[in-house]
Amino acid sequence: MTSVDGKILTDKWGSDPKVKALAENFEKAHEELGVKAWLVGRTTMEKDFTDFAAPILKKGHQEVPRTDFVAEHTAESFAIAIDGQAKLGWEEPTMQGDHVITILTTAVPDAYLAHLQDIGVSYIFAGEKKINLKTALEKLTSLFGIKKLMLEGGAHINGSFLNEQLIDELHQLLLPLADGTKETSTLFEIEQSEKRNGATVLKLHDVKRMEDDVLWLTYKFDY
């Protein structure tokens, strides 16, 4: 969901009821797409979902092997976080009814892993110091049967997936409002030192007009 100038942070858009009504289209699209697994980066998860809760470390001496942990669960939907340095504070194994899976590096503390096991949060390892996205996706499929995933920000996670050519389809809700701020994140952001190629070419697949002049644009990727 973006403004016409490509910005994605709704907290910069003010408290006008008209703006809030426009932003509600995001959840409508989320439900209509119906994908049972969604993924966000650590910054988005702590800002929008965990309320900046500090990481919890289990007391006492802990030694936890660096093997993936699939907690017991009955959920068919998943809330997934990229959190390589274990900065998210988890207090329960579900998020809005979805089973939580956190993607970590092997550098995280033993006491953090012990706490996740105690409360039933699943975790997978996808690198020693930096997350390897391809490894993470392969494990989400092999361990949890996830074959389709909704990537929902923020800008750096979106950019990382784009940089690795791991996005098949883009659904962009274009809201009829202009942000105008310089510091606000855009839909995709990649550090210049990490960017591999030039611009990515997309193919327009569908355009749908929603309520209040919102456009739902669907693109296919042409790598």
pTM across the whole model: 0.94
pLDDT at res. 11: 86
Taking only the tens place, the pLDDT of each residue in 91-130 is 999 999 999 999 999 999 999 999 999 999 999 999 999 9
Report how far residue 88's alpha carbon sits from residue 154's, in angstroms, rounded to the nearest whole number: 15
DSSP-assigned letter for residue 93: S
Domains of the chain from N-terminus onward: 1-35+153-223 (3.40.430.10), 36-148 (no CATH)
Find out whether 47 and 158 touch, Cβ atoms under 8 Å: no
Mean pLDDT, to the nearest integer, of 185-201? Answer: 94
Exposure string over 46-69, b if 16+ CB within 10 A, otherwise e? beeebeeeebbebeeeeebeeeeb
Mean pLDDT, to the nearest integer, of 193-205? Answer: 94
Report how far residue 84's alpha carbon sits from residue 74's, in angstroms, rounded to the nearest whole number: 26
Taking only the tens place, the pLDDT of each residue in 47-77 is 999 999 999 999 999 899 999 999 999 999 9
Structure token digits, residue 135: 């490894």
Q: 88, 146, 85: which is closest to 119 by C-alpha?
A: 88
Find out whether 157 and 38 touch, Cβ atoms under 8 Å: no
Name the helix (H) or strand (E) containing 172. strand 169-174
Structure token digits, residue 156: 């750096």
Report how far residue 26's alpha carbon sits from residue 119's, in angstroms, rounded to the nearest whole number: 30
Find out whether 173 and 2 touch, Cβ atoms under 8 Å: yes
DSSP-assigned letter for residue 36: S
Taking only the tens place, the pLDDT of each residue in 2-58 is 999 999 988 889 999 999 999 999 999 999 999 999 999 999 999 999 999 999 999
